[in-house]
Amino acid sequence: MSVSRRSFLGAAGAAVAGGALLPKDVMAAPYILRRSLARPCTVGSENGLRGMQRAVESMIKGTDTLDAGVEAVKLVELDPNDQSVGYGGLPNAEGVVQLDASCMHGPSKRAGAVGALEGIKTPSEIVRLIMKYTNHIMLVGKDAQRFAVSYGYQVEDLLTPASREAWLHWRANLSPNDNYVDEPASERMVKYTTGTCPMMLVNTAGDISSLVSTSGLSWKIPGRVGDSGIVGAGQYTDNDVGAAGSTGLGEANIMAAGGFLTVESMRRGMHPKDAALATLKRVMTMIPARWIGANGRPTFQLQYYAVNKAGEYGAAAMTASPFAVCDEKGPRKEDCAVLFS
């Protein structure tokens, strides 16, 4: 049936005025008929998998996205068997565990971070305190520890027997010409590790947060801070767009501001997976020649994890690597998209 534009608009206006198109309880604000902006989802590294279901269930019940993320990441920080995060993390070159972490809270547009924090098992809680109760974003070293103690946290030895043994083994084999007796190579020998626990979260309202915690590069020069402690690199959130975070060689990620860049790619309409791949390509243009092997590929691993405001997620890595995700389908591992197959 042919209907003129004027006739259609006039009929529609009359119907709305008479309540024919909308329920009576939403006549004053028809925009609330919009569906939920997102499906609840959390995405990150595989060591965060066990906490993800708890985080999603908590968000569904109304828990803030960042609070849900902190509780999930704490499970990894407190696990002495995870040598990449918190208690039991591998130490620096002098045998001291130094932790980096940061967070962003989308709804409040606030952030918190620590670098080279010693003696505190759960830096995820400390960065949230910095975010909530100070005008600062980042505290480092002994002063970050002093801040944590002022909120009732106890300074503890974070070096477990297993991590100490790995450090002693590394130190003994550091040079064939030093005064340490070389230990036989074994499966326990750890050359270095770059493990981290990043987590990006979105709830049904489309509110977003991101969080990352790490003990950083093992055997690092004391005082080194990697990407996890730097907002915009190790993680980044824009509540209008999405969130992204990373694991792998922090120095390479810092040079590309990878967390920020991935979110900006999603702002331009990219799917989270494609945005993560685009950031990896940018990293390859930023790294020095000494980090590229004879085959033209990087000699390090780097992964990005991303989620957008709608709850769509994705991850990408330099080479094959799994990642963890939890949404309405439950917690599971999936394969990252890869830049180099």
> What are the catalytic residues?
196
Question: Rounded to the nearest 5°, which phi and psi values hold at 194?
Answer: -125, 25
DSSP category for residue 289: G
Token pair in block for residue 79 = 């696990």
**For residue 139, which of 153, 127, 156 has the smallest C-alpha distance?**
127
Q: Which residues pair with 115 in a beta bridge?
A: 140
Question: Rounded to the nearest 5°, which phi and psi values hold at 87?
Answer: -65, 125
**For residue 211, which of 314, 143, 113, 290 has the smallest C-alpha distance?**
113
**What is the side-by-side order of every strand in the sheet holding 337-338?**
235-238, 242-248, 302-308, 313-317, 337-338
Amino acid code (one letter) for 315: A
**For residue 63, which of 75, 73, 55 has the smallest C-alpha distance?**
55
Nearest-angstrom CA–CA distance, 263 and 236: 7
Q: Are 17 and 38 in contact (CB under 8 A)?
A: no
Q: Are 218 and 91 in contact (CB under 8 A)?
A: yes
Measured between alpha carbons, how far is residue 188 from residues 89, 166, 169, 185 in Å?
A: 15, 7, 9, 8
Nearest-angstrom CA–CA distance, 338 and 59: 31
Nearest-angstrom CA–CA distance, 77 and 121: 6
